[in-house]
A = this chain, B = another copy of it.
Amino acid sequence: MKRIAVLTTGGDAPGMNPAIRSVVRYGINQKLEVMGVFRGWWGLINEELKVLDHRSVSGIINQGGTILKTARCVEFRTEEGQDRAYGTIKKYNIDGLVVIGGNGSFSAAHEFYKKYKVPVVGIPASIDNDVNGIDYTIGTDTAINTALDAIDKIRDTATSMERIFVVEVMGRESGFIALTVALAGGCEDVIIPERKLDLDVICHGIVHGNLVGKMSWIIVVAEGAGKAEDIAKKITEITSLETRTVVLGHVQRGGRPTAVSRDLALNLGKNAVDCLIAGKTDIAVGLAGGNIVEVDFEVSIKKKELKIDNLFNLVKILT
């Protein structure tokens, strides 16, 4: 193995930059040449790549986003696109590929490996924490803290104006992040895709709370479980109480990565390179139970099942 390439793909996540830094610098330390591919698969298809040296990744460790940029690339889903990407890999004598992204990225990487047998290792980075077989993707901790910061701010108004707020946070398929944020934010309720929403129960709680002097509510909703606006409208219908909404949206995606996001990224960058050197492929590296593990791409892209009952109950008990 003499030359590897690294790319970021899917939605950007805070910590992608430290991951790139680690792949490049550790790669160089291991006597590899490291090429950076721009805009994910698109860059492979369109030959947008260049050699990255030690200095090229200076000053990015604390920056959100990705200096390699990222893109969603429909062309890569076509046979022609994949062939062209493979052509670039051959042309530039790339012996291995590090793919930094979420489960969609790993799915594509897995297909690519199966077809062309280019050694490829994934580094899970995504604010959705959607990669199976590992505990946290790079970026999750940062995104959670950003959401929590917003909720702490909203709490000031909720308390001062005695209002009900419905706050929509990330989480299309899993309520894990909504639960984490709701718990840490001391939120009064949480709505997640894993559990049937019963607004009557929530509204009963609000009305009952009002009677005993509990006047402010923050209800966190995972985006996959409903739109904040719809839920607020229904709460107002049922309780006749004014209800406000906040959709945190893309703010959760950026910002200086936290220590957890950075250290995870830096460790996984090294491990991904180690895996390629050791001849491993078709896998993602990640943290599980405090240890760095290797997970087959096939496993990593399965639906992540999280035990959320304890967390859900704790939210309800502690408010």
* Interface positions of A (Cβ within 8 A of B): 8, 11-12, 14, 16, 18, 21-22, 25-26, 29, 39, 59, 61-66, 69-71, 135, 141, 144-146, 148, 150, 152-157, 159-162, 165, 180-181, 183-186, 244-251, 253-256, 258-260, 262-263, 266-267, 270, 288-291, 314, 317-319
Report whether B290 and A135 are in contact in the complex, using a CB–CB cutoff of 8 Å.
yes
A153-B254 contact given A25-B318, A249-B246, A314-B266, CB 8 Å threshold: yes
Given A21-B318, A71-B161, A270-B318, output 20 extra A-B contacts at Cβ < 8 Å: A12-B157, A12-B161, A22-B318, A25-B318, A61-B184, A61-B186, A62-B152, A64-B153, A64-B157, A69-B159, A135-B290, A141-B259, A150-B251, A153-B255, A154-B250, A154-B251, A156-B254, A157-B254, A246-B250, A289-B291
Q: Is B159 within 8 A of A26, CB to CB?
A: no
Which chain B positions have C-beta within 8 A of A267?
314
A159, B61: Cβ atoms closer than 8 Å: no
A71 touches B256 (CB 8 A): no
A288: chain B residues within 8 A (beta carbon): 290
Report whether A156 and B65 are in contact in the complex, using a CB–CB cutoff of 8 Å: yes
Considering only CB atoms, which chain B residue lies closest to A67 in the complex?
Answer: B160
Does B253 contact A157, Cβ atoms closer than 8 Å?
yes
Expressed in whole angstroms, the minimum distance between the Cβ of A309 and any Cβ of chain B is: 13
Q: How far is the CA of A254 from the CA of B167 in the complex (A)?
A: 14
State in angstroms the CA–CA spacing of A224 and B16 once bound together. 33
- Which residues of chain B are near A144, meaning CB under 8 Å? 259
Taking each of A61, A153, A288, which has the highest tally of chain B beta carbons within 10 Å of its own beta carbon? Answer: A153
Cβ-neighbour of A69 out of B11, B152, B160 (below 8 A): B160
Overall SS of chain A's interface: helix
| A–B pairs, 9, beta carbons within 8 Å | A12-B161, A25-B319, A62-B185, A69-B160, A152-B256, A183-B262, A260-B260, A266-B318, A290-B290
Q: Take A259-B148, A263-B180 as given contacts and tell me if A250 and B21 are in contact as well, using a CB distance cutoff of 8 Å.
A: no
Which one, B22, B61, B135, B156, contacts A63 given CB within 8 A?
A: B156
- The residue on B at minimum CB distance from A213 is B55
- Quick one: closest B residue to A147, CB to CB? B259
Bound form: Cα–Cα A314–B30 in Å: 12
**Min C-beta distance of A70 to chain B, whole Å:** 5
Which residues in B have their C-beta under 8 angstroms from that of A155? 62, 65, 254
Q: How far is the CA of A102 from the CA of B262 in the complex (A)?
A: 26
**Within the complex, what minimum Cβ distance (angstroms) separates A210 from chain B?**
14
A203 to B65, CA, bound (A): 25
Known: A64-B156, A256-B152, A263-B180. A69 touches B290 (CB 8 A): no
Q: How far is the CA of A26 from the CA of B319 in the complex (A)?
A: 10
Q: Give, as a whole number of angstroms, the nearest-CB distance from A289 to chain B.
A: 4
Complex-state Cα separation, A274 to B269, whole angstroms: 40
How distant is the Cα of A51 from the Cα of B89 in the complex, in angstroms?
A: 37
